[in-house]
Every structure is written in C-alpha cells, then in structure tokens.
Structure 1
Amino acid sequence: MPEAPALDAAGLRSVADHTSYLLSLVEPLRPFGMSLLDAWDQVVCEDIDSMINVPPNSTAKVEGYAVRAADLLDEDGHLAEPLEVVEADVERLPSGAAVVVAPGDVLPRGANAVLPATFGSLADGRIRLIEKVAAGEYVRAAGEHLKVGTRLLSEGEILDDRSIGLLAGSGLDKVMVRPRPRVVVVSSGDNLVDPGMGVEHGQATDANSFMIAAAAKAAGATVFRVAVHSNDRAEILQTITDQLIRADLVISTSGGKREDYETVADVMQEIGLVDTVNVAMSPGRTQTFGLVGEDRVPMLMLPGNPVSAYVSFQAFARPLIRQLMGAPTTHRAVRAIASHSMRSMIGQLHLLRGRVTSEGSVRQVEAVSMPHALGELAESNALIVLDERVEQVRAGEAVKVWLLDED
C-alpha cells in the first residue's frame, strides 16, 4: 500500500486524511458508450453537442399558406396577382404558388414565410392577396430552439431524466458515461439468519447487509448481496474470491462479534494489501480497507454495530462509490439550527443521527437517540457533523449536517 497519512498525538488518523487516502487508492471506472436509458444517473464523460437542428424543419406558426415572400409583390411594389394553390407534397414550392398549412406543418422547400388565412381569400384554387408578409414571418425556423453544434451537456455532469429528453430530442441515442459501480456486500457471522427465517436462541436477523446494500444502491451502485453466515475462514475466503470477478468494490458486514470482524480481516490479509487504523471519528473508530485479489479490488470492512456500520458507510463507502462513478464524492452539507444542546469531544469528528425539519427557508435539526439502533437510523434523515474543533453546540446555534434523503 502507498504510505499512509500520519497519525495525531493520540494515534488516530483524521477523517479527512483517511477519506483522501482511500480515494487516492481507487480510480474512476472506464467510460463507454451506453444507450440513453441505461445511462440514467451516470456521469457524462464527454462534451455533447446537438447533432441536429431543433426543430429540424421550418414549420408554420399559424393557419394559412406557405409562400415565397418575394412572390407577394409585383415589380412596382404592389400586391401580386393571385397565387396558385398546389398540393402539400410538392417537392419544391414553385414560383407564384402557395401550399395550405396548419400550425406545426412543415413548410415545403422554397417557402420562407406563412401568409395567415386572413391575409388572403381563396377562390377557384387561387389566393387573392389582401396583405403581404416578409420572409420569416409566422414561421418557426429550423434550429430556432436549438442549432446544430449547440453545447447540450459538459463532461462531469450527471445524466438525469430531463437531460435524457434533451439528448433524445437532439438526435442522440448513446452517450459516453462511466458504468454503475458493481458493489458486492458480503455478510458473515455464524449467529446471523436471513429475514424470514426462524430465529433460534443465540441468533439474530441479518439487518446490516440489507441496510448497507440499500445504501449502496442509493449512492448509485449496482448491488449484489451475498450471505455466508459462518465464521469458517475457508468459506469466507472462497466467497470473497468468487465475488471479485464481478466486483468493483466489496463491502463486508457482520453481526458485530469480534471474531466475525477478525476472521474477515485475516482473510483480507491473506489475499491483499490491508490498511487498518483507528480514525478520529465516533462512531466507527476502527476502519479496515484493502486491495484484494489479483486485480486489487477495493474492499471495505464495516463495523458490526448497525449505527457504526451505517455511519462508516456514509463517511467512507459512499465516497468510494462516487469516486468509481466519477461523481462528486462529498456529501451535500447544509446548515441547520440546533433545537437543543449537543456535546462532542475535541479532536474527534462526531456524527450524530439527526432529524432535520424545515420552516420556510430555515432548517432545524434535533439529535435522534433511541435504544433500538435500527429504529434510530430509520427515524433519522441526516447526520449531524460535529468536527474535531467542536466541544459543544448550544440550542439555537448553527450546525453542519449531511442530508441523507436529498442529493
């Protein structure tokens, strides 16, 4: 592994240093051409210009007659003789002729104006002129909305539903994007059972792997969940190595027993390069990251406690997923007014579970604390960030929060 960041006097690595270190070890995935719908929510890897004019043809704005403006006046500048009405499918509008059009109809080649129906009277297949129009009048010109070569999206933008409509309307069916990272969540622990199975004495339902898999999906990944539910070292080793062929990132979850964590750590040491460190963060102090297998696939091991696992995911796994996507890795941080006093510890970043509410343009946040860890997370919609310099936040003071339910 490359040289790791220095530790502080307490033997801890800062959250900022640890995040930067992990991101330096992971490269964005290679882009390739992908169909528009498949590319939704992915990062565009090229500047994209319109391939066509929009609209592609000049069309009528009003009901009337497609004409050549020059045909409406004679040599003396007076209204010309009546124009002959010809069929709409004419290849090119003849001189001295007109075609009946409705709003939105494509003008025939050669026509450069629309004479409103009230500007002439139709009799015996000919139009007697009452008023004239100039070239371009009552016409929606080709390229009026968008011209060939107009910049539509720039490299680094994320393709959303409106962008897909824009590209499709501009004649594009594919776009160069980075693929969704393939994240494999590997659950282990001999006391865990899948939801829906009977829970016997000494067992617990595996919730962490489902929560983390869903969080990875929310971050933009394609997710595979694999459950070992064993502490057998050989079985865990086989499971992880089997998954590396389809993984851009492996995330390990467990049931929280120390032996669960240590077994996976031993396996990681056997098949890769590993960094284990105490980070100046609460919860989630101990963090283990590795580059495993022949292809050095990044692997992150999360703590067993549900709150620690989820907070660690948001602090470290989510940035890694976003890095693979080529997307911004930082959380959306906003300010909110604390509804009550909160305490932290100098020298550590404290991530409290919080509930943000809004009154007009003002956000307020309160810490959520419940005995049931998963219930606490379900009730929260933000993480309250008390950085290393903060010891106390008083009620009414502003505090930074990471919003969990908004991009």
Structure 2
Amino acid sequence: MSVPFDGFIATLIESIHSLEPLEIPLLEAMGCSVASDVVAAADMPASSVAKVDGYCVRRSDIEGASASTPVVLPIVADIEPGQRPSVSVQPGFGVRITAGSAIPDGTQCVVPTEWTDGGVARVSISQVPTLDDFIMPAGGVVKDSTVLVPAHTRLRSSHLGLIAAAGSDRVLVNPRPRVVVIPVGSELVEPGNPLGPGQVSEASGSLITAALRDAGALAFRIPALPTDARTLAATIEDQLVRADLVVLVDGAGARTRSVVRDVVNRIGGVEFTDLACEPIGVLGHGRVGPDAIPVVVVPSDPLAAYVAIEMILRPVVRRMLGLEPVHRPVIRAMLKGTIETSPTARSFIPATVSFDQGAYVVTATPTTGHPLIATSRSSAFAVVPEGVGHASDGLMVDVVVLERRFA
C-alpha cells in the first residue's frame, strides 16, 4: 500500500539534524548558515569621524560668515583616514580633515570644502553649519552588541562584507553538508563518451549534484558504477569518510534495484517506501556505515529525480544547514488547461506560473521528448492532490514555486 507523501516527508525531515557548528574563516562561510546571532563587538565607527571633506572648527569662530563677509582662519594641521589626531581645535584656528577621519578634540562642527575656498594654509569660510553638523558620532552606524546577522541566515556576500566591516575574520556556522551522489547502472555511460547499444548518458547524478550545490551543499558526483554488488559496497564504504549524506541514484531494471537494496541493507538499514507520489514512486531512506550516515535512494528517471530533488533532497540539505523554512514556497493558482494524473497519488507536474488580472495562473509545461526539456522550461510544480485524477481547466491548485519569474 502506498504511503501518503506529507507524513513521509515530515518523518524524514524530523530524522535529520543540522551539523555541529564550526567556527571557520569568513571567506569559507559563503553559503553556510550562521549558528547563532552575529553581533557587533564594538561601536561603528569606534570614534567620531567626519562625514565630508572639510575643516574642523569651533562654531563660535565662524558666526555670521557668509559669501559677502567670509571668515578666514589659519589651518594648523591636516588629518587623513587612519590617523590618530595629534592636535586639538583651538579658538581662532581650523584643522583640515578628509571624510572618514577621526574628529580632533575641540571640534564643534565640520565645514564642507564646498562652503570654503579650499585653502591649505588659511581657509575662507562663507557658510555656517549647525552644531555637530557633518560629524558621525561613535556608534552612529552600528552600536556595540547590535545583531548584524540573525541566527540561521544563509550567508551571502553582503553578509560576509558586513561581518568583515564589524572587524571579524571568523564566524560560527552550521557547515555546508558534504553530499556524495552515486549513480548506479550498467547501462550508464559518463557524459562525453560515445554510447553503445542500450546505453544512456548518465544525467540524473549530474542533475542532483548541481541542484544540491545550488541548495548549499558541498556535493560530489562519483562516476557511474556498474550493477555490481562488490563495487557498489566498496565505493559507498570508501566515500563515507567524506559524507554527511549519501544519495544513490537507482538505475533502470529490476536487477540494479535488487543489487542496490541488498548492498545498502548489508552495510546499514534502509527502508524502501512506495510513496503515493508521482513521478517518484519508490524511494529508499535510512542510514549506513558505523557512523550511521543518512542515505537516500532515488529513482534514476530524470523527471522522478528532479521532483525528488525539490521535494525531498533540497529540504534535507536545508535541514542540515539549519535553515528555515526547509520547503519551497507554495501559492494557490488557477489551472489553465487540463491534467490527467493518477487518482491514488499526489502528482507534481512541471509548470510555469503567470500573473493575470490580479491572480496567479499555472500552466503545465508540455512534456515532449526528453523529460528534462520540460523541467528546464519550468519554474514551478502544479500539485494535483490524491483523489482528483482529472484536473480540469479553472481548478484552483497548490503550486510549488521553484523560481520567482512570473510572466
């Protein structure tokens, strides 16, 4: 009897845990999720700085300055970024300063260069700023202990730049899971090699590896293995030392499926479940090896593999990364056209989404030729639930959004 999809995926995700947090160099953290809030260790800036190029003065010295009656002050020093001020602003004198430089003691305001004649030894000031104008106070950008990146955020380049700006060169993360993808089947030929009778170019392993890298994993694909129990067992055992997750791509034919099942149950415990889900069907999951590494066995059919990636493998990887939510967003949309599916299974149909007259519309992608042609032209799955079978034009259905590109 087929197992309902919702209960299966909930149980599977619950059995997966995020990886042990590690503190790693900042530039190695791209794509990881932070294990705890990243907070500012100090005020930014650490001291008051000039917002503009100009002159530090006492406001009382330039009262009444205008274009017709400028005030002239002698300049006693220049301050550049990175310098600690060695002078203070005394009555009747000014200090020339570059934007971003530390403000010297005694400064009441900064006069922008544009309001002066730009003098070096002496400056003629023709406009008066307000008190503290053009000065960024200590902590004016970020206060000490401010949360910069919340926990469980997947790090992008902008996050890494922000953490670096706060003065940190390392960050505590849930590391990217290492996923080993192993395609199995004597009919499989490595891409780039000529095909013989009855052979096919291995595609599902490449598809899965690329998709899991996109999801944040460090995914590696092993060259396609023949249907041989000894070779498969040795390969899995060799790869366990670098794997947080193993994905086996089950080849075509009963013999390959039998060999895969025998091997994974000899070196671990893997349950094969007949899912009420098209096009996945039977899917294996469990653990292998002395460290009980999670393993998932997916069908080699490209369309089934594609649905398994998005609905099962991607959520597993995001769970390991400590990211929430683990699932793709779901919207409601009106079906355009009709779809015939099995009434006993939930069906995930490659589709495109458009926005028309204030509502989402979903259209099944034509499946002519290789199934990956349809998936490569799709941005969503139209979900036809169990018990429907014939999905008619105008039916409201759930849509799993894979890409945010609506026509």
TM-score, normalized by length of structure 2? 0.86
One-letter amino acid of the structure 2 residue matched with residue 333 of structure 1: V
**Residue 95 of structure 1: aligned partner:** 90
Q: In the alignment, is residue 153 of structure 1 matched against residue 149 of structure 2?
A: yes
Greater alpha carbon shift after TM alignment, 112-121 vs 201-210: 112-121
**Residue 252 of structure 1: aligned partner:** 248
Question: For residues 118 and 249 of structure 2, what CA distance do their matches in structure 1 show?
Answer: 80
Does structure 1 conserve the Cα–Cα contact (< 8 Å) formed by 2:190 and 2:224? no
**Residue 6 of structure 1: aligned partner:** none
Which residues of 2 match residues 193-272 of structure 1 at below 5 A?
193-272=189-268
What whole-Å deviation, never above 9, does each CA across 1:175-221 have from its counterpart, x for those lacking one?
11111111101111112111111211122211121111112112211
What whole-Å deviation, never above 9, does each CA across 1:233-258 have from its counterpart, x for those lacking one?
11111011111110111111143112
Which of 41, 45, 52 is 1:51 aligned to? Answer: 41
Which residues of 2 match residues 271-350 of structure 1 at below 5 A?
271-327=267-323, 328-350=325-347
Does structure 2 conserve the Cα–Cα contact (< 8 Å) formed by 1:71 and 1:95? no
Distance 1:301 1:120, change over 3 A: closer
Pairwise CA RMSD: 3.0
SS in 1 for 2:313: helix
SS in 2 for 1:276: strand
Question: For residues 362 and 119 of structure 2, what CA distance do their matches in structure 1 show?
Answer: 75
Q: In the alignment, is residue 382 of structure 1 matched against residue 380 of structure 2?
A: yes
Which of 382, 387, 403 is 2:401 aligned to? Answer: 403
Q: In the alignment, is residue 85 of structure 1 matched against residue 78 of structure 2?
A: no
Q: In the alignment, is residue 29 of structure 1 matched against residue 12 of structure 2?
A: no
Question: For residues 163 and 106 of structure 2, what CA distance do their matches in structure 1 show?
Answer: 29
One-letter amino acid of the structure 1 residue matched with residue 234 of structure 2: Q
**Residue 351 of structure 2: aligned partner:** 354
Does structure 1 conserve the Cα–Cα contact (< 8 Å) formed by 2:334 and 2:361? yes
Distance 1:309 1:107, change over 3 A: same
Aligned residues: 391
Greater alpha carbon shift after TM alignment, 31-40 vs 233-242: 31-40
TM-score, normalized by length of structure 1? 0.86
One-letter amino acid of the structure 1 residue matched with residue 86 of structure 2: E
**Residue 140 of structure 1: aligned partner:** 136
One-letter amino acid of the structure 1 residue matched with residue 150 of structure 2: S
Instruction: Tell me by how many angstroms 1:143 deviates.
Output: 2.4
What whole-Å deviation, never above 9, does each CA across 1:355-394 have from its counterpart, x for those lacking one?
2344586543221222422323323222111223544433
Distance 1:370 1:121, change over 3 A: closer
Does structure 1 conserve the Cα–Cα contact (< 8 Å) formed by 2:344 and 2:386? yes
Question: For residues 377 and 128 of structure 2, what CA distance do their matches in structure 1 show?
Answer: 69
Question: For residues 219 and 120 of structure 2, what CA distance do their matches in structure 1 show?
Answer: 71
What whole-Å deviation, never above 9, does each CA across 1:268-303 have from its counterpart, x for those lacking one?
110111212211111112111120000011111111
Question: For residues 113 and 288 of structure 2, what CA distance do their matches in structure 1 show?
Answer: 75
Does structure 2 conserve the Cα–Cα contact (< 8 Å) formed by 1:370 and 1:376? yes
What whole-Å deviation, never above 9, does each CA across 1:317-350 have from its counterpart, x for those lacking one?
2211111111131112223332112244445211
SS in 2 for 1:309: helix
SS in 2 for 1:196: coil
Does structure 1 conserve the Cα–Cα contact (< 8 Å) formed by 2:351 and 2:382? yes
Distance 1:154 1:346, change over 3 A: same
One-letter amino acid of the structure 2 residue matched with residue 58 of structure 1: S
Greater alpha carbon shift after TM alignment, 24-33 vs 120-129: 120-129
**Residue 16 of structure 1: aligned partner:** 6
One-letter amino acid of the structure 2 residue matched with residue 168 of structure 1: A
Does structure 2 conserve the Cα–Cα contact (< 8 Å) formed by 1:47 and 1:153? yes
SS in 2 for 1:100: strand
Distance 1:117 1:392, change over 3 A: same
Instruction: Tell me by how many angstroms 1:117 deviates.
Output: 6.2
Q: In the alignment, is residue 189 of structure 1 matched against residue 185 of structure 2?
A: yes
SS in 2 for 1:259: helix
Does structure 1 conserve the Cα–Cα contact (< 8 Å) formed by 2:75 and 2:120? no
SS in 2 for 1:88: strand
One-letter amino acid of the structure 1 residue matched with residue 15 of structure 2: L
Question: For residues 243 and 167 of structure 2, what CA distance do their matches in structure 1 show?
Answer: 34
Does structure 1 conserve the Cα–Cα contact (< 8 Å) formed by 2:25 and 2:171? yes
SS in 2 for 1:86: strand
The unaligned stretches of length 5 or more in structure 1 are 1-10, 74-80
Does structure 2 conserve the Cα–Cα contact (< 8 Å) formed by 1:261 and 1:304? no
